[in-house]
């Protein structure tokens, strides 16, 4: 059994690294688990615990869906939080509205259902997780830190492949191991 997700890898450029460093500095006294810059990605689908025999079916399906799709570009823009500012859980960098990204999500989701995978039934909100909030003593610092980058264009991202990852949870944070890479 492997804990699996499908994602687009993001190679962080200077602006993204600077924004995360600035947020870390502004929120230094808070209990936040910051995303390691080598783990930055956009999740297409989180599958959770997956049987080994299903991984082969998954790889075949993702390969088929991606081979016909074609490369595209997207733009990272702005920062914000999930759940909300009164009860924040995740600090994120946003993705500018992108029809090709939504279409990729839709064809992979359809493929997952057709292949027998159970996926979360919620709307697709593409983002990059910068940090997970454990507790917050000063919410005002969070608000001002997030507001500072709310409308900033962060970077252009070429999307050339989709990756199936195994997420191995460790006390120091998750380790992502590539199971398969699938060119668009």
Give me the active site residues, please. Answer: 41, 127
The DSSP secondary structure of 53-84, one letter per residue, reads HHHHHHHHHHHHHHHTT--EEEEEEEEEEEE-
Q: What is the b/e burial string over 125-142, where b = at least 16 CB atoms within 10 angstroms of the residue's CB?
A: ebbbbbbbbeebeeeebb
CA pair distance 35, 38, nearest whole angstrom: 8
Residue 12 tokens, joined: 């962080």
């Amino acid at each position: 059994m492997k804990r699996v997700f499908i994602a687009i890898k993001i190679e962080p450029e200077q602006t993204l690294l600077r924004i995360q460093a600035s947020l870390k500095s502004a929120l230094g006294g808070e209990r936040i688990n910051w995303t390691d810059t080598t783990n930055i990605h956009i999740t297409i689908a989180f599958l959770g615990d997956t049987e080994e025999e299903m991984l082969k079916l998954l790889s075949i399906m993702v390969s088929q869906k991606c081979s016909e799709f074609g490369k595209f570009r997207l733009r990272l823009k702005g920062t914000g939080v999930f759940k909300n500012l009164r009860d924040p859980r995740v600090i994120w960098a946003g993705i500018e509205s992108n029809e090709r990204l939504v279409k990729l999500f839709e064809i992979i989701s359809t493929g997952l259902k057709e292949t027998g995978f159970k996926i979360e039934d919620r709307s697709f909100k593409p983002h990059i997780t910068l940090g997970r909030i454990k507790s917050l003593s000063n919410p005002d610092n969070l608000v001002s830190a997030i507001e500072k980058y709310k409308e900033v264009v962060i970077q252009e991202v070429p999307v050339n492949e989709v990756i199936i990852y195994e997420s191995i949870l460790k006390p120091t944070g998750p380790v992502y191991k590539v199971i398969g890479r699938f060119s668009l």
